[in-house]
Amino acid sequence: GRENAPLMAQNASKKWNRPELVLCSPAKRAIQTSEFFKEEWWKEANNKICSELYEGSPSIILDLLSSVADEIHSVVAVFHNPNITILTNLLAQQSISNVPTCGVVTLELPLLQWRKLEVGSCSLVDYDYPKKNS
């Protein structure tokens, strides 16, 4: 992850505007990854450590994301597998076998109402990962 994070952060910063909110797992590796991305992409975003992203099941993480205020239009969540892969597949009705370390999945919720986040409510806009760039 440490070798790939700077490149993945650069790629994300070229494709996407700065997120308004960053939710990060309290795990050391997630925080380190978040710091790489923060330097390159979201220098001034509101950062929040959320224990649900470390300890929670996919349904608990979905509840966390559903509770985001509707005034927030872009959120980045830095957390762990298997939940990243499970949530991507559920929310966007995909069949990705594994989102690798430092993988970046971009989903879009068309209604921009976080409380309406549910299975199949998002579309997969982009999926980037280190080996795709080598």
Domain at 84, CATH number: 3.40.50.1240
Mean pLDDT by 10 residues, the chain (134 residues): 85 93 96 91 88 95 96 94 96 96 94 90 95 78
Look at the chain and report how many structural domains it folds into: 1
Cα atoms in the Cβ-side hemisphere of radius 13 Å centred on 24: 22
The continuous run of DSSP H or E covering 123 comes out as strand 123-128
DSSP string, 72-120: ---EEEE--TTHHHHHHHHHHT---S---TT-EEEEE-TT--GGG--TT
- Domain containing residue 87: 5-133
Contact 90, 119 (CB under 8 A): yes
In this predicted structure, what is the pLDDT of residue 49?
97
In this predicted structure, what is the pLDDT of residue 86?
97
